[in-house]
Structure 1
């Protein structure tokens, strides 16, 4: 039936339907202790051979972490917003531009050549900075639906989310999809309505859209004064102070701001210099006070109320105010549910205060430094302290293997610095010679633990890929191996092919193929040719090759392509949803799954 859920939806809606099926079973949840009072705390029930707590994180370090992912429909200004948060957070002296002119700096988060050429985010990136005594970790995610899988993985590592809306367009298709993921994971959601420097919908229209479509109540924190060329600034409803802005004189610099209390109406009227806007501000203030329910932080943490902000990332209007408010309102790092593999007693809540180090891999990336052909695994620290040189267990290895984390790096786009210590909520990069895959859990202590895995989505595009030049084969093979490790695309081959036959790529969207070819050329100096195939979805077979052979003997696999994945597990490719649905219902030997995960590793 799971296959049937996605069988008759559009391609991208199918992915979202799949998400709702998978979330409870697979996606790593942020879990608040007060929402799971019945859940046993792993930190207090695990038996250890020592009374010391060598890796327990100090409470002060946990309290000062804030972690957020920024999500939006393409072209809503997400990467620009990220840059401006870095600017006001003190991490940049000058914010970059998504499509920069000669005198402008490129964005820190969109560092790939193809990202800078097309002005889109292709890969999620991580940036961190210290601000007002807090350590803020920002995950900038792709907006384009072809890279949505990368966004979903980044959301698995987030404790808070910021939903960015275009003020002129309101809710858009990709925003709706991503909101559903946030809701499934119970993430506190902040809403920032961007591009108020352009003609916009009224704030009331946007609030109505959000409540009508999501059933989510919004509570305005920053209220706009005008829009387009008449956008003057915002009213901070928590302090009753109006912030009037002037565009920065230096490109990429901070906006100039004047702060005026609402009580000083004469000054306000003079500075706004627009009778209509001044009257509207007074009217809106009174209306909001009478009609809008109060801010309830318990509801915000439960994701039933969203703090609402208006501003312009391009002109820097309201960005610093948003950052300040988020630091005050955003939740500190939260625990995650994990399975106690040693006792086999179901799930436990591993809180950030747990005495051992735990973390999970939510992303891998090749060639952050093309000169060294390096590979990194992005690890979200869930509990405990990372210490340089520590030994950790690996959830998928059987028997349990220990790996020495000789070095970890703090990430800032493509830039990295060595880190000696990391705490819950932090994201670190560790060298990945091929041992770590997306969804793996790393841990210290005597009890083997595993956070729920992060599955790969069912691909919908398929194509053979090859290098036209035989002399480039070695570089082509190396490049493909490293790019496949990132998990954005999957590799399929004919049954019993040990690597000598044609390589088939499977992806969620067509643009992912173009990224592979561009990166092969730019990072490995290899040309490639693609031959598209007419199949539209893949299903993994529970029961292995015996089940496939029995179904084939029954004559049920006519018109279906049978291939194997990187771990030689059977995969069926279908030309249409109807065929997949029919086979799932009729064939008694087959149980089809629309997702895959790396298998356990044996010595």
Structure 2
């Protein structure tokens, strides 16, 4: 059978992992790759020194701190399906990057710490998923540690998220008393064996058996067996049975318990993703100015850029645009046009990602994510297609919450600083503003960690030692409306005007009060918190 969009797109499962920091997202990513046969040993996320390396965290600061602050893409095949795993930043200071990554996901895995339940960042990311109608599978992690009552955790999901939890498995105990979990549909019990994490988990866990055999095998004592059986009966009446349609519509979440670090429950999670997560969807678009839809099985190759990453290979100062394909059969060497600029690209070296490892992609289909090396031609939000007439909804930039002035310690490197700041700003993680008066650069970010990451990257990737200082500005707003009105306003407020990296006019205010005051005086000018590009 030939590989066509009609046969290949349904095999794709493109999903993101969302969680609060330290819930175990990076560890779960590692072990999903292990379960999928992509790696032989998972990274020791909590190891020390040179041992602290994970496959998905490639940036130096990520390796040192054991946190995720960039978005990685990992592709692997398992059980006849192709999985594209989007590993989102776990830190809240990088929520805008996460938002954009979720635009490329067809489903999400929500990771909850069994001892903490739903934490603030999880709630924020869930709301983004809800806005985009992304179906969610819940993985309750760290059951090998002391945990909240499992029923209470499900009640929290129902009350805080207005989501019907439907447990597919049920745990026997937690912490030192964690014995395993019961598959509610089949009555099979999966025993938990406490071992060190590592490569033995390819074959490490004992095969499941019917619950009635758990005592004879020494997995449970009689009291534990009776308790688990009684709870299973309660669950049958207390929670709705899993319904695929309700899940795909975003009303229900299947729930799996486990321990990512011990590779327990991970195989079951991967199976659920393959069975329940949707194949690539039809996407709304416009073609030559007319509203239309793009189906993954359509012949024309189309897609959109949701992420740009600089210097994944520090030896080559590369720039990779991550393109979510939405239709067609892409083949290496194809020519694609950028809708908003009309530029044509010959994609001769497309990349399939495996964290910081990569290989040339000979072909790819709707649902896949490929990397396109380019030198500033592609930006976040760009729409690509063979015809150059297809446009997907743009990905927004959000007004930053912190503005700081940046300068390089060595004045002779000022020109290098400009180029480096522009390169990093093109990734879309931070905003770069140039005031109309003066030579300063103003960097805007959501949180303080972004400045630390930027300083670290400027030092390691560009050899620039920089200082971030307080800025005279506290707020930034893009200006919209009639061009003549904007020009008139800018002429009267030149000391507070600037431009962003796309040369869009920006008003730089000293306070939120000033923004409000000026906006009242100039009702014909729009002061925008978001700017859509694409």
State the TM bucket, normalised to the shorter chain. Answer: over 0.9
CA deviation after TM superposition for structure 1 residue 92, in Å = 0.8
| 2:399 is aligned with 1:420 | no
Q: Which residue of 2 aligns with 1:39?
A: none
Q: 1:510 aligns with which of 432, 444, 448?
A: 448
| Pairwise CA distance, 1:381 | 0.6
Q: CA RMSD in A?
A: 2.2
- Does the CA contact (< 8 Å) of 2:435 and 2:496 recur in 1? no
**Corresponding residue for residue 76 of structure 2:** 129
Does the C-alpha gap of structure 1 residues 426 and 583 become closer, same or farther in structure 2, counting only changes over 3 Å? same
Structure 1 residue 189: deviation in Å? 0.7
Which of 469-478 and 197-206 deviates more? 469-478
Equivalent residues of 2:482, 2:525 under 8 A apart: no
1:296 aligns with 2:231: no
Give deviations 1:81-116, integer Å, cap 9, x for gaps.
Answer: 000001111111000022323574610111111001
Q: Which residue of 2 aligns with 1:393?
A: 337
CA contact (8 A) 1:141 1:151 kept: yes
Could you tell me how far 1:526 is from its partner in structure 2? Answer: 1.5
- Deviation digits for residues 160-209 of structure 1, max 9, x if unmatched? 10111111111111111111110110011111111111111111111111
Counterpart position of 2:400? 459
Report the count of equivalent residues. Answer: 532
Q: Match for 2:300 among 338, 345, 356?
A: 356
2:321 touches 2:371 (CA, 8 Å); kept in 1?
A: yes
CA shift, 1:151, in A, is: 0.6
Distance 1:338 1:542 in 2: 23
Which residue of structure 2 aligns with residue 491 of structure 1? Answer: 432
Give, in angstroms, the shift of residue 546 of structure 1: 4.4
CA distance in 2 between counterparts of 1:269 and 1:525 reads 64
Kindly indicate whether the alpha-carbon contact (under 8 Å) linking 1:57 and 1:424 is maintained by their aligned counterparts in 2.
no
1:106 and 2:41 are equivalent in the alignment: no
Deviations 1:417-466 (A, max 9, x none): 01110111110000121111101011013x71100000111101111112
Assess if the C-alpha contact under 8 Å between 2:88 and 2:101 holds in 1.
yes
C-alpha change, 1:581 and 1:438, in structure 2 (3 Å) is: same
Question: Match for residue 229 of structure 2?
Answer: 282
Counterpart of 1:380 in structure 2 is 324
Q: Deviations over 1:30-64 (max 9, x none)?
A: xxxxxxxxxxxxxxxxxxxxxxxxx9943221121
Structure 1 distance, partners of 2:426, 2:282, is 27
Matched, 1:530 2:442: no
Q: C-alpha distance in 1, partners of 2:15/2:366?
A: 13
Structure 2: gaps of 5 or more residues:
none
**SS of 1:365 mapped into structure 2:** strand
Q: Secondary structure at the match of 1:258?
A: coil
Q: TM-score normalized by structure 1?
A: 0.84
1:105 to 1:417, Cα distance in 2 relative to 1, 3 A = farther
Do residues 594 (structure 1) and 529 (structure 2) align? yes
How far apart, CA to CA, are the structure 1 residues paired with 2:324 and 2:309? 14
In the alignment, structure 1 residue 482 sits paired with structure 2 residue 482: no
Q: Write out per-residue CA displacement over residues 193-228 of structure 1, whole angstroms, 9 at most, x where no aligned residue.
A: 111111111111111111111211010012111111
Quick one: higher RCO (CA 8 Å, sep 6+), 1 or 2? 1
SS at match of 1:268: coil
Q: 1:234-245 residue pairs with structure 2 within 5 A?
A: 234-245=181-192
The runs of 5 or more residues in structure 1 that have no matched partner are: 1-54
State the alpha-carbon separation in 2 of the partners of residues 143 and 434 from structure 1. Answer: 27
The 3 A distance-change label for structure 1 pair 370 and 266 is closer
> What's the CA shift for 1:573?
2.4
Secondary structure of 1:320's counterpart equals helix
| Distance (Å, rounded) in 1 between the aligned partners of 2:213 and 2:305 | 56
Deviations 1:205-264 (A, max 9, x none): 1111111112110100121111111111111123221100213456354173234444x5
1:210 aligns with 2:157: yes
Q: Residues of 1 paired with 2:329 and 2:335: CA distance? A: 12
TM-score computed with the length of structure 2 as normaliser: 0.94
